[in-house]
Amino acid sequence: MRTYIGFDDTDDKDAPMGTGRLVREFMYGLPQTCTPIGVVRHQLPRFSDIPFTSNNSSACAIVEIADDSTLAWLKDHAREHILAHCALGSDPGLCVAEESQITSGMIEYGQAVTGMTKTQQDAITATSSIFLEGLGGTNDGIIGAAAAVGLTKYGWCGRFIEFKRLRSLGRDLRVADLEETGIRVVSVDRDPLVPLPSDRIVKGDWIRPSLWGGQPVLQVKMLEQSVWEPAHTKRKKDKKLQPGMKVDATTTRPYTS
């Protein structure tokens, strides 16, 4: 039974880790009765009326479980994990849903959150039959947590920050290495060729596949024949901002996932 677990707003200016890292640590601690699939990071808008401490992103863990009893345990474990590791000044939210529970209305809500300001009531309405809980502060994290679940089910938004052995693949790879892991490789050049299994992928120390068509897809650009590089690289830190700097709705802190 595929299950989606949305997390949002678990950090503050002094937090040792952002929401993405917190969710990854959650996945590392799952028992053998759960099969972790991946973690998808979703970008939310940086509007002036939305306070945030990072780049305003939420995250969704995707987990395969056996039965409803495991689902109940998973909800409790996710709650305990957030409460144990979230920052004191955060406003965390948690959303947990079986894949079959996620409605078209919830997907539409997630899409809307990426382009306009939404309220807690909007999140509650969109998830009327789904587990949604605020875990402290203003509880505004329920807005992004619900959106993360809807957007992940939508399947055309976000990037994987965890997927199988993604983080241990190494810097210089073959296309086949990614495909064997379950990551498709697609050229986004103007006149694209097809990356072949024996082709090389260089600069592979930061690979974060996009969620396209419900699958992890690495977008690449050709450097030379049979040699490719990821189309997107790690965000450069803004030198004007220092790690841990207090931010408001018009600035961002240099945390990346």
CB atoms inside a 10 Å sphere around CB 181: 17
Mean pLDDT of the chain: 88
- Above 80 in pLDDT, residue 58? yes
pLDDT at 255: 33
pLDDT for the residue 233: 87
* Sign of the Cα pseudo-torsion (12, 144, 97, 165, in order): negative
pLDDT per residue as tens digits for the range 33-49 = 899 999 999 998 766 65
List, for residues 242-256, the tens digit of each pLDDT value: 444 334 433 333 333
Q: What is the distance between the alpha carbons of residues 245 and 14, in angstroms, rounded to a whole number?
A: 8
The residue that leads in pLDDT, 233 or 23, is 23
Q: Architecture of domain 2-159 in CATH? A: 2-Layer Sandwich (3.30)
| Inter-residue contact 161 to 257 (CB < 8 Å) | yes
Q: Where are the domains of the chain?
A: 2-159, 169-230
The whole-model pTM stands at 0.87
**Distance in angstroms (rounded) separating the CA atoms of residues 54 and 57:** 7
pLDDT at residue 243, as a whole number: 41
Higher pLDDT, 101 or 166: 101
